[in-house]
Homo-oligomer: A and B are copies of this chain.
Amino acid sequence: MEKMIEMMLKLAEEKQYRRLKELLAEMNEVDIAAFIDELDSEKAVVVFRILPKELAADVFACLSVEKQQHIITSITDREVATIIEDLFVDDAVDMLEELPATVVKKVLQNANPDTRALINQFLNYPDNSAGSIMTAEYVGLKKTMTVKEAFDYIRRHGVDKETIYTSYVMNEARQLEGVVTVRDLLMNTYETVIGDIMDTHVIKAVTTDDQEEVADCFQKYGLLNLPVVDHENRLVGIVTVDDIVDVIEQEATEDFEKMAAMAPSERPYLKTGVFQLAKNRIFWLLVLMISSLITGGILAKYENAFAVLPLLVTFIPMLTDTGGNAGSQSSTLIIRGMAVGEIEPADVFKVVWKELRVGTLVGVVLAAVNFVQLLIRFPGQPLVCATVVVSLMATVILAKTIGCMLPMAAKVLHMDPAIMAAPLITTIVDALSLVIYFQLACALLGL
């Protein structure tokens, strides 16, 4: 592929457009778009124009926003109109959401009134709702049709539809009555009436449902597409599995970002500006910095202790890091388990009991290893060794318990469990572990 693109870039450079056109006609729209994205703006428009007509809209949908914008502003209104009519509504909407207002205006002016109305309707669905990821291109049948009539209908109207493998059966009021797949049609005789073979137990979503719920539904039932209805059960669109694949990745990325104490970003890293990146990160850094200043305040109470025995200070990083890591492990497993639906808040007792035992096991191993190295390094200070080891064990067990309980508590309180991830857990565990450590030190060592 790399070599092919190199050769094609050379052809574009040498303006050998006829040869280039032949090569392009053989290629997949995704690869063509990748090639055009590599060209400079001027060449991109030229190459886009020599594309076979039936490919142009598909390629356009795969281009980067920058190239889309440049092409839209460089081509004629008539060409814009053709592209926008050929695009699937969901692709058109995705594109318009990214483009600047002036370009959007040019696009909408050139769309025909029906398309424009549809696009405007779609642009109004809330972000991340079923409505915002659905497409209006589906095959709608009536239950009085026969299989033969259905096939004829699909043959006549199907080319435009994003998926023709599932057809939706509606009554006069456009209310969803059932679904029938091409497979059902193929497996029955031409005379069969659709009403007799359609499946009336339709799994469906409502326009306002969250895209995450929609994705869960796809996964649970292994769907290829899902009808979306309005609050009167009228069919308004379908969601297809290729969009769900993107939703799942996007939701996972959001969780990764939240769990690393950042506001989720709308765009890929390399395309996000420095100020936006800084803005996404600063809020949590500030909150956590101030929280750890409080931890520092706690530490100040024990100034006398470490003035007398400075050795105590050298174990602080080990204690706080280990506590933070142990807590993050638990919180990560629980947050992820809840995100994929494996763990429910009702499991809280099972989870805490499990973490208590895991924490004890892990704590004992860590304490034992530590005890050996301490005895070797500080043979004359058994009480210091004991303080460190006992604090370590208590910290690990406490960290595991807090790490599993806070995300579940967040879920119960309808907050996002992903906030209760490594950074916040670490800060909380830090404070607690230092209190345990110095209290114990004061008691055992009489400081």
A293 at the B interface (CB under 8 A): yes
Oligomeric state, in number of copies? 2
Interface residues of A in 366-416 (CB under 8 A from B): 366, 369-370, 373
Cβ-defined partner of A329 (8 Å) among B182, B281, B293, B299 = B281
A340 at the B interface (CB under 8 A): yes
A446 at the B interface (CB under 8 A): no
Cβ-defined contact, A366 with B289, below 8 A = yes
A306 at the B interface (CB under 8 A): yes
A186 at the B interface (CB under 8 A): yes
A248 at the B interface (CB under 8 A): yes
Cβ-defined partner of A257 (8 Å) among B187, B277, B332, B373 = B332
Cβ-defined contact, B220 with A30, below 8 A = yes
A51 at the B interface (CB under 8 A): no
Determine the distance from Cα of A141 to Cα of B241 in the docked complex, in whole angstroms. Answer: 26
Cβ-defined partner of A296 (8 Å) among B28, B159, B314 = B314
- The residue in chain B whose Cβ has the minimal distance to the Cβ of A300 is B314
Chain B CB within 10 A, most for which of A257, A296, A304:
A296
A183 at the B interface (CB under 8 A): yes
Cβ-defined partner of A222 (8 Å) among B242, B248, B318 = B242
Set of chain B residues within 8 Å of A231, measured between Cβ atoms:
none
A443 at the B interface (CB under 8 A): no
- The residue in chain B whose Cβ has the minimal distance to the Cβ of A268 is B342
A45 at the B interface (CB under 8 A): no
A75 at the B interface (CB under 8 A): no
Set of chain B residues within 8 Å of A101, measured between Cβ atoms:
none
Determine the distance from Cα of A220 to Cα of B257 in the docked complex, in whole angstroms. Answer: 23
Chain B CB within 10 A, most for which of A260, A262, A430:
A260
Determine the distance from Cα of A249 to Cα of B155 in the docked complex, in whole angstroms. Answer: 37
A423 at the B interface (CB under 8 A): yes
Interface residues of A in 245-303 (CB under 8 A from B): 245-246, 248-249, 252-253, 255-257, 259-262, 268-270, 274-275, 277-278, 281-282, 284-286, 288-290, 292-293, 295-297, 299-300, 303
Cβ-defined partner of A321 (8 Å) among B151, B164, B242, B427 = B427
Interface residues of A in 316-354 (CB under 8 A from B): 316-318, 320-322, 324-326, 328-329, 331-337, 340, 342-343, 347, 350-351, 354
11 contacts between A and B (CB under 8 A): A241-B245, A260-B333, A268-B342, A281-B326, A285-B322, A285-B366, A288-B321, A295-B317, A317-B320, A321-B427, A321-B430
Additional A-B contacts beyond A219-B246, A307-B307 (19; CB < 8 A): A158-B187, A159-B187, A164-B182, A241-B245, A278-B358, A282-B362, A282-B366, A285-B325, A285-B329, A286-B369, A289-B369, A292-B318, A292-B322, A296-B317, A297-B314, A299-B316, A300-B314, A303-B313, A321-B426
Chain A positions within 8 Å of B, measured between CB atoms, are 26-28, 30, 151, 154-155, 158-159, 164-165, 182-183, 186-187, 201, 203, 218-224, 241-242, 244-246, 248-249, 252-253, 255-257, 259-262, 268-270, 274-275, 277-278, 281-282, 284-286, 288-290, 292-293, 295-297, 299-300, 303-304, 306-307, 310-311, 313-318, 320-322, 324-326, 328-329, 331-337, 340, 342-343, 347, 350-351, 354, 357-358, 361-362, 365-366, 369-370, 373, 422-423, 426-427, 430-431, 434
